[in-house]
Structure 1
Amino acid sequence: MANNDSIKKTFIVAAVLCIVCSVIVSSASVMLKPMQSANKALDFKRNILMAAGMYDESKSVDDMFQQISVKVINLETGKFTDEVDASKYDQRKASKDPARSESLDKSTDIAGLGRIEKYSYVYIVEGANGDIEKLILPIRGYGLWSTLRGFVALKSDLNTVIGLGYYEHGETPGLGGEVDNPAWKAKWEGKKVYGSDNEVLLSVIKGSVSSDTPNAEHKVDGLSGATLTSDGVDNMIKFWLGENGFAPFLANLKSGEA
């Protein structure tokens, strides 16, 4: 009988401990959520600054980000819009909402998106006279294992790349994960997006770009051993900077009609 009591007490103690631990973990999760959200927002801003070549680790991210104007555009018309509130718009949720996005057919969905939202954020650095000095555009697309989400930044000519970077992906470390390698990201700087007929020529090739490579100004080294991730980056660049992405907006900016 004593042994049974001992076993019963053991189970009771274990159950109580489990309940107490669950309460502690749940409470910690709730209390830490605001901090986690703030850190996520800070990292998001940091990645925009890094793509634009504006990040300085010795300075406050929020202070540096004050140089950037956050605006929303209608992707179909290629024009700025006030139809959604830029301070509240959730682009990721919108991309999954049939009421706020459109289905893509297979012939155009080269980035593997499935759906595309009607509105997109754009991030702008303006000069003293109000002209655009830098434009940072959000991009995403499927690689080997995951959807890569990041930014590409363009100079004032809206054709020359300043930088490219990803803030979220699940690619294989050491292979597709090399999209995070500073040496590879540096290869994007100065590359040209469009040809003379406004076709997207910027591409990720197999192998390395050399001085002998034809149209080298439009080409970036592929990731060694990560062909599918390289293809994914190539496809999302062509999609988002093409007619189904930001090309109409860029055309309107150039003509002053955005």
Structure 2
Amino acid sequence: MANNNDSFGKTLGVVVGLCLVCSLVVSSAAVALKPLQEKNKAQDTQKYVLEAAGLTDKINGDVAAVYNQYIEAKALDLDSGKFDDSIDVTSYDPRKAARDAATSIVPADDIASIKRRANQVLVYLVKDESGQIDRIILPVHGYGLWSTMYAFLALDTDLNTVKSMVYYDFSDQGETPGLGGEVQNPKWKALWPGKKLFDDQGNLKLRVTKMATNPDYDIDALSGATLTSNGVQNTLAYWLGSEGYGPFLENARKGGVL
């Protein structure tokens, strides 16, 4: 019996030891790889910003170099609609800020189902070869069919004419390919450039609809993906409203932003 107990104890000791060693290896690898993971994540975001900026043709292997040449990230306080230069844009994470009650709000009318909205977001100023602002990229997100969908809405300097709409991330399980995932279909993305957001009275007129009859404002809904199409519409309604970029757009119309 003693021999059996000794054998069991030794086996248990070996198992525990192996578990500790494996945990140490995994933890060390995670720590060592974190900087690389963060770099890849940042580069991936930069790549989609450049796509929204219409600058993918300038990428020749060095995404960061093209991004740094043409893109300026700015922290925007959504309540005031003004830039906040006190925030370090290289380290600020709006998604993290949205999870903190001290740096976010619960939307009064959460039509886009975002749950919380960060007080400050990052917007991107796109500059041409001479350094003049060519377009402004506004990050937006909202719930689609199965998940929260993140996109970059690029506008002309009039802040009313759409230059592009680029969906780049689906949190959680993601949208179903062929349904919600169709927001990444090049044919659908090609429908956005040139559309207008607001009418002359400042009312949101752009629609994602099955009855696209107005060439200035209407985007054809995604075939077979009604809930995702509704999600895109709700996303625009929230982020272009008073709790989103509304104050920023109003300041811009008065000439007080750019």
Cα contact 1:72–1:122 (8 A) shared by 2: yes
- TM-aligned CA deviation for residue 9 of structure 1: 6.4
Task: Give the letter aligned to residue 219 of structure 1.
Answer: D
1:1-258 pair list within 5 angstroms: 15-56=16-57, 57-66=59-68, 67-105=70-108, 108-127=109-128, 131-169=132-170, 170-206=174-210, 213-258=212-257
**Could you give the per-residue CA deviations for residues 1-53 of structure 1, whole angstroms, max 9, x where no partner exists?**
8x958777666655544444333333222211111110001001111111121
- TM-aligned CA deviation for residue 234 of structure 1: 0.9
CA distance, structure 2, for counterparts of residue 97 and residue 8 of structure 1: 47
**Could you give the per-residue CA deviations for residues 107-141 of structure 1, whole angstroms, max 9, x where no partner exists?**
x2211122222222110023577653110011011
**Could you give the per-residue CA deviations for residues 63-120 of structure 1, whole angstroms, max 9, x where no partner exists?**
1112111111221121122343333322112222222222222xx2211122222222
RMSD: 2.4
Cα contact 2:156–2:163 (8 A) shared by 1: yes
Cα contact 1:152–1:165 (8 A) shared by 2: yes
Cα contact 2:78–2:121 (8 A) shared by 1: yes
Determine what percentage of the aligned residue pairs are the same residue. Answer: 48
CA distance, structure 1, for counterparts of residue 128 and residue 42 of structure 2: 25
Cα contact 1:151–1:166 (8 A) shared by 2: yes
Report the TM-score when normalising by structure 1.
0.86
Structure 1 residue ranges without an equivalent (≥5): 208-212
**Could you give the per-residue CA deviations for residues 228-256 of structure 1, whole angstroms, max 9, x where no partner exists?**
11111111112112232112212322322
CA distance, structure 2, for counterparts of residue 89 and residue 10 of structure 1: 49
Task: Give the letter aligned to residue 244 of structure 1.
Answer: E
- TM-aligned CA deviation for residue 153 of structure 1: 0.4
Task: Give the letter aligned to residue 97 of structure 1.
Answer: D
Structure 2 residue ranges without an equivalent (≥5): none
Aligned length: 251
Question: Mean Cα displacement is larger for which, 36-45 or 108-117?
Answer: 108-117
Report the TM-score when normalising by structure 2.
0.86
CA distance, structure 2, for counterparts of residue 255 and residue 113 of structure 1: 29
